[in-house]
Structure 1
Amino acid sequence: MPIQLEIVTAERVVLSEEVDMVSAPSVEGRVGILPRHEPLLTVLQPGELHYVKNGVSMPYAISGGFMEVLPNRVTILADTAERADEIDETRAEQARLQAEQAMRDRQSTEDLARAEIALRRATVRLQVAKLRRNRQ
């Protein structure tokens, strides 16, 4: 019995597909969801979201959001979500370097927090893109 997975951002429906399993980066740790999971609502942090279909794991880079789990449906409301093949590695690397520089140049704790979030997003995007390269 599969799970209906929906990944949605403000701009688009990124994915709507039946899958076997979902693994997401919750603020409380990585959460794995199988069919007939108990209802759950959790906050997502920037990280790698994976779903498995027919034994193949598909990675996405998300930058945070919310996940609602019902027994046979998972809805991800993400700030941003990108498939590995959508990630421009050059831009992600530039964003990583800019975030590292912003951390060094910080003027306040707010600047540091923003830079840390930007660094995490860029790092996740690079990790997901690397997964794609390793599979080719």
Structure 2
Amino acid sequence: MTTLRLEIVTPEEKIYSEDVEMVTLPGSEGELGVYPKHVPLLTTLVPGELRVIKNGRETALAIGEGFVEIRTDAVSVLTDMALESEKIDVAAAEAAVERAKAAMKEDQTPEQVAAIQASLQKALAQLHVKRRRHG
């Protein structure tokens, strides 16, 4: 079976480096499915669910903002957050959502609003992945 190399890197560490059958990414223009021999592409990522199919099994990670470089035989994801479902702390993510919602009610600069929205989207992505995978 043809595979492609998936590498997921955050500023802190390399999270994932394996040969996979398919990757689905939350691209800025919508969901993007990548199979081996995909046309080369460089695009931005938004917070959401990254799904991987390996050996016929699907797994998911919550990812933050970042970039993806797609080559015919590899996908490189550079993101500010990548968490496997098992590592997501639901209580912490729910608290982050509440903090962000409360902060949005206060007067904020455009830069602060953007940062709050980014935090909110990352927390919501974590909750989505955790709830989808574990009910």
Q: State whether structure 2 residue 22 is matched by structure 1 residue 21.
A: yes
Unaligned runs of at least 5 residues, structure 1 = none
Query: Deviation of residue 110 (structure 1)?
Result: 2.9
Computed over aligned residues only, the root mean square deviation of the Cα atoms, in angstroms, reads 1.1
Segments of 5+ residues of structure 2 without an aligned counterpart are none
Aligned mates of 1:29, 1:73 — CA distance in 2: 20
Aligned counterpart, 2:120: 119
Which residue in 2 is equivalent to 1:77?
Answer: 78
Q: TM-score, normalised by structure 2?
A: 0.94
**2-side partners of 1:106 and 1:30: how far apart?**
33
Shift, 1:119, TM fit: 1.2
Write the mapping of 1:53-132 to structure 2, written as runs, cut at 5 A. Answer: 53-132=54-133
How far 1:49 moved relative to its partner?
Answer: 0.7
Percent identity reads 40
Question: Letter of the aligned partner of 1:125 in structure 2?
Answer: Q
Secondary structure at 1:18 match in 2: strand
Following the alignment from structure 2 to structure 1, what is the Cα–Cα distance between the partners of residues 56 and 102?
A: 40
For 1:4-60, what per-residue CA distance to the aligned partner results, in whole angstroms no more than 9, with x for missing partners? 100011111100111110010111111110010011111111111111112221111
| Runs of 4+ deviating beyond 4 Å | none
- 1:35-86 per-residue CA deviation (whole Å, 9 max, x = no partner) reads 1001111111111111111222111111111101110100101111110111
After TM superposition, list the pairs within 5 Å mapping 1:5-20 onto structure 2: 5-20=6-21
